[in-house]
Amino acid sequence: MKVYDDKHIKNIVLLGATKSGKTTLAETMMFEAKLINRRGTVEEGSTVSDYHEIEIARGNSVYATLMHTEWRDFKINIIDTPGLDDFIGEVISALRVADTGVMLLNAQHGVEVGTELIWNYAEDFQKPMMFAINQLDHEKANWDESIESAKKRFGSKLVLMQYPLNTGKDFDSIIDLLKMVLYKFPATGGKPDKLPIPDSEKERATELHNVLVEKAAENDEKLMELYFEKGTLDEDELRMGIKKGMMKHDLFPVFCLSAKNDMGSGRMMGFIDNVVPCAVEMPTEETADGKLIHCDATKPTALFTFKSLVEPHLGNLTLFKVVSGEVSVGTELYNEANGTVERINQLFIMDGKNRNTINKLSAGDIGATLKLKNTQTNQTLHTKGFDVAIKPIEFPSTRIQVAIVALNKHDDEKLGEVLQEIHREDPTLTIEYSRELRQIILGAQGELHLAATKWRLENIYKLAIEFEKTKIPYRETIRKESKSNYRHKKQSGGSGQFGEVYMHIEPWFEGYIPRKEFNIRGTEVVDLDWGGKLVYFNCIVGGAIDQRFMPSILKGVMDRMTNGPITGSYVRDIAVYVYDGKMHAVDSNDMAFKIAGMMAFKEAFQNAEPKLLEPIFDLEVLVPEDDMGSVMGDLQTRRAIILGMDSQNNFQVIKARVPQSELDKYSTTLRSLSQGRASFRSKLADYAIVPGEIQKKLHEEYEKVDHHEMASH
């Protein structure tokens, strides 16, 4: 296959709500370029994109799919993305390596929920964007309403490049405002006839053309001078102004399409060739430490891996962008993350599941390779001595969590391996084994994300699994001081065990001042793995307990702190004073004092008014103003504390603090309350005391389970 240089490579990502026609457009673009002989359909499951079994079963995209087409000496790499917010990780990784976004709007609906949600992420990248109103052939297509909704959302940056002469089932004509011609398509689509603009449309077309000229001129001083001098701009000058406006993220061209009927896609591809910036014209890549890497084939090689796929019977398929230099078959590159050497044995240009072999790829291009042993998504491969780590993709944190269980216990090990494999493919799906909760916790972006994962586990990996509610990682502490003592004495022939410990405990807090009445000989501050502190004071004088046994007492306390009396949760924020005790010259040993320390702590803790703490999350909800009331009302039922409100674009931002236990199923509820238009993010903020009636209920539930487990043993 032909190797393209950085001046002839265009990288685009197709964006839009589900059912906006992205996959159909990608199919049509490949057909227009004669890279495929027949256009497949989503309904038949025969498209180049959406080839995975789950996508065919669901009838929509779940994964971002890489394809390419060739048009008038340019290579256009196309990444088709899902339209559902649950699979936003696929969109973000595609946006990271693409140079221009193409946002599709369904002409029946205009700006939809999915459009809004995806745009919020696209804005973070500030890359050139263009819009296409698709499905103008649908009987319910409404161009005027679609444009009105888009202008309301995206403002004056939106500039018409075309408008349809007719819409609905008879759609076949587009007036192009850059070339000032009428494109009339045959019934079968494809190459249109170029005709003069009808007299009835000349006034409207001229008015819109002038708007385009003014907007293009605004982006360059020389063009503005030419515009004032001539009163217009020629076609080449317009292209220059449009490109500069797109690169400033200040001009969004709008096109007309019926991707299904192959009307308008060729003209849009021509615009991508002639106007959209090529790889070398894009801003330089940034490294993790803030340095810049230019897209230059003559420089040392650096590849950025943005996606991994597990190919059955073949191994890992790694997708990458050539950030600088060139990569050829046989090249050895260094992984900056782990220092290992990877040999590139095969290179491919991807068209869905089809791999087209190529010997070399140049800077700016996107390709794939097989069987890299130590390389994962978000890593940099580079020439020896060119030590760079390209700035990684920042994936969103999970929004929903469940516990996952293999129905057949013999599958536990396999389940763990498969989940790690899936995480390597999709970093927005997280896996954590919680020793505290004794659960495998699966984190995802939403219910559909979880459903797709379950489908894969059951249908591809043949694992029977079920989801369970995650337990809450409560913490236990105390509210007052308490004293206790415990003697551990055991005699069973030969040397026995003896240890006696006197202990005082009380709440610890930031700024805590130790008690003066104890003769403190040593202090050990333990930063607990689960948060909070244990401060251990050695107050033994006169040799009541040998100093060598003090660490054993601390071990006993620590062991007991992993199993609090209220719910069996971890204990935190305690000050412990060991101030007296006894030992035996023969029978005292480490185990005896460990047990004595554990039991003394247990008794003191139970008498110190133990309190349960619950995790509190900072919650940010992005919600349309129309849905504010219902979302706020729901939060109040979840014991939320509203911290404030702000505005962001056309959305309101609600900031609140909510107990983790109240966030169960929140993703599903929020989707229902806002018709899918709202989104949220959350992170652990702090722990707070659980209300008394809830603590009592949780303790009673724990007692039942604890006694049941003891009886079963």
8-37 pLDDT per residue, tens: 999 999 999 999 999 999 999 999 988 999
Backbone angles phi, psi at 16, to 5 degrees: 145, 165
* 591-633 confidence digits (pLDDT tens): 999 999 999 999 999 999 999 999 999 999 988 888 999 999 9
- For 293-319, how does the pLDDT look when each residue is reduced to its tens digit (9 = 90+)? 999 999 999 999 999 998 766 678 999
Which pair of structure tokens corresponds to residue 556?
């006993």
Confidence of residue 58 (pLDDT cuts 50, 70, 90): confident
Plot region of 531 (φ>0 → left; ψ -120 to 50 → alpha; else → beta): left
Please provide the DSSP assignment of 542-599 as one string.
Answer: TTSS-GGGHHHHHHHHHHHTTS-TTTSPEE-SEEEEEEEEE--TTT--HHHHHHHHHH
* pLDDT 10s digits, 218-250: 988 888 888 888 888 888 999 999 999 999 999
Residue 549 confidence (pLDDT) above 90 = yes
- Cβ neighbours, 10 Å, residue 670: 24
Give the DSSP letter string of 458-480: HHTS---EEEEPPPP--EEEESS
> In whole numbers, what is the pLDDT of the chain averaged over residues?
93
Q: Is residue 579 pLDDT above 50, yes or no?
A: yes
pLDDT 10s digits, 385-421: 999 999 999 999 898 999 999 999 999 999 999 999 9
| Rg value, the chain, Cα | 32
For residue 616, give the nearest of 572, 660, 654 by alpha carbon: 660
pLDDT of residue 665: 87
20 Cβ contact partners less than 8 Å away, ≥ 6 residues apart: 83, 104, 105, 106, 112, 114, 115, 134, 135
- Give me the pLDDT at residue 315, please: 74
CA triple 215-216-217, angle to 5 deg: 90
Confidence at residue 663, expressed as pLDDT on a 0 to 100 scale: 92
**Segments of 329-382 assigned E as strands:** 332-335, 341-343, 348-351, 354-357, 360-362, 366-370, 380-382
Residue 581 CA to residue 471 CA, distance in Å, equals 39
Q: What does the pLDDT look like over 693-705, one tens digit per residue? A: 999 999 999 988 7
Is residue 162 predicted with pLDDT exceeding 50?
A: yes
Residues 242-279 pLDDT 10s: 999 999 999 999 999 999 999 999 999 999 999 999 98
DSSP code for 310: E
* Largest CA-CA distance found in the chain, in angstroms, rounded: 114
Rounded Cα distance between 142 and 410, Å, is 57
pLDDT at position 647 is 86
The domains found in the chain, sorted by start residue, are: 9-212+251-281 (3.40.50.300), 285-382 (2.40.30.10), 400-468 (3.30.70.870), 476-608 (3.30.230.10), 612-693 (3.30.70.240)
Percent share of the chain, pLDDT over 90: 79
Looking at residue 697, the DSSP 8-state letter turns out to be H
Give the pLDDT of residue 713: 41
Torsion sign, CA atoms 628, 448, 96, 291 = positive
Q: What is the pLDDT of residue 712?
A: 47
**Interval 665-677: pLDDT, tens:** 898 899 899 888 8
What pLDDT is recorded for position 711? 45
Quick: pLDDT tens for 462-498: 999 999 999 999 999 999 999 999 999 987 766 789 9
Query: How would you classify residue 378: left for phi > 0, otherwise alpha for psi between -120 and 50, otherwise beta?
Result: left
Angle between the N-to-C axes of helices 199-217 and 235-247, in degrees from 0 to 180, rounded to the nearest 10: 50
